[in-house]
């Protein structure tokens, strides 16, 4: 099960753009806790604390505990909106979950034993189709990550979801046996431009040699013609 992180929050009394801007000016991020058939709670969290946990790979696949005025809420982070210019978080949404809440969540997938793949050893390339797998499971049973073993994979081979061991009660949202990654043949880039340039240079050199030989042949043939025009002097 994924490790739980904790965020300290303060309750917000006012909603709206003006109140949200005032919250951000105090280096806090406005947010909301919703779901589990209960009224939403407007909160704010410290900006640096949110950035510290939101930057981790599996943040959106981990349960978190948000404490508000001494009361704890078990939540799943759903969205962190970022400022398009500064990339600073400007709003956060947390889904409140209960012991029987089933959710859809994207779990990251890691690849291991690359050195044991004959295809990668021969210069093949690992073509990752999915970096995360979307699954349906209990909120209390979210896997930390999935592991795909590359042992024995040769060029042209693929890894499917059926090759990945899933915990009990965790099911992919896609019913078919979809591809996660494959080992592709290495890509060879042939530099055609230098070859074409060399061929063109050879052609120009050959044409130049033929042009130089033509005038020489013409000059050699002109000498006899000039001799025929010379007539002996007639005696008077």
pLDDT averages per 10-residue partition of the chain, 236 residues: 77 86 92 92 95 86 90 93 93 92 92 94 94 93 92 95 93 95 80 56 59 49 46 48
Nearest of 95, 96, 8 to residue 44 by alpha carbon: 8
Report pTM: 0.66
- Let me know: does 99 contact 140? Beta carbons within 8 Å: yes
Written as six digits, the tokens of 213 are: 């030989």
- CA end-to-end span of the chain: 132
Rounded to the nearest 5 degrees, what angle is found at the Cα of 45, between the Cα atoms of 41 and 46? 170
Domains observed in the chain: 5-98 (2.40.240.10), 110-184 (2.170.120.20)
Provide the pLDDT for residue 235. Answer: 47
Question: Left, alpha or beta for 133 (phi > 0: left; psi -120 to 50: alpha)?
Answer: beta
Provide the pLDDT for residue 217. Answer: 46
**Residues whose CB falls within 8 Å of the CB of residue 118, separated by 6 or more in sequence, listed in order:** 152, 153, 154
**Residues whose CB falls within 8 Å of the CB of residue 93, separated by 6 or more in sequence, listed in order:** 31, 32, 34, 77, 78, 79, 80
Give the span between the Cα atoms of 7 and 218, in whole angstroms.
97
Written as six digits, the tokens of 230 are: 């010379």
Provide the pLDDT for residue 30. Answer: 96
Provide the pLDDT for residue 31. Answer: 95
Can you tell me whether residue 9 is helix, strand or coil? strand
Rounded to the nearest 5 degrees, what angle is found at the Cα of 16, between the Cα atoms of 67 and 60? 45
Written as six digits, the tokens of 14 are: 């006012």
């Amino acid at each position: 099960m994924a490790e739980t992180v904790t965020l300290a929050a303060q309750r917000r009394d006012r909603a709206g753009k003006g109140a949200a801007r005032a919250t951000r000016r105090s280096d806090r991020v406005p947010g909301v806790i919703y779901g589990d058939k209960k009224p939403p709670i407007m909160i704010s969290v410290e900006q640096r604390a949110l950035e510290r946990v939101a930057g981790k790979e599996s943040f959106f696949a981990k349960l978190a505990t948000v404490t508000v005025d001494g009361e704890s809420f078990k939540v799943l982070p759903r969205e962190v909106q970022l400022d398009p210019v500064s990339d600073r978080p400007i709003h956060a949404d947390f889904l409140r979950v209960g012991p029987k809440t089933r959710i859809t969540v994207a779990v990251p997938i890691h690849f291991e034993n690359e050195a044991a793949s004959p295809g990668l050893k021969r210069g093949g390339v690992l073509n990752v189709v999915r970096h995360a797998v979307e699954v349906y499971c209990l909120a209390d049973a979210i896997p930390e990550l999935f592991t795909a073993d590359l042992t024995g994979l040769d060029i042209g081979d693929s890894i499917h979801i059926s090759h990945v061991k899933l915990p009990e009660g965790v099911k992919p949202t896609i019913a078919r046996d979809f591809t996660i990654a494959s080992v592709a043949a290495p890509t060879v880039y042939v530099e055609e431009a230098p070859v074409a340039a060399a061929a063109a240079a050879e052609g120009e050199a050959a044409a130049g040699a033929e042009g130089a030989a033509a005038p020489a042949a013409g000059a050699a043939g002109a000498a006899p013609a000039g001799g025929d025009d010379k007539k002996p002097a007639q005696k008077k």
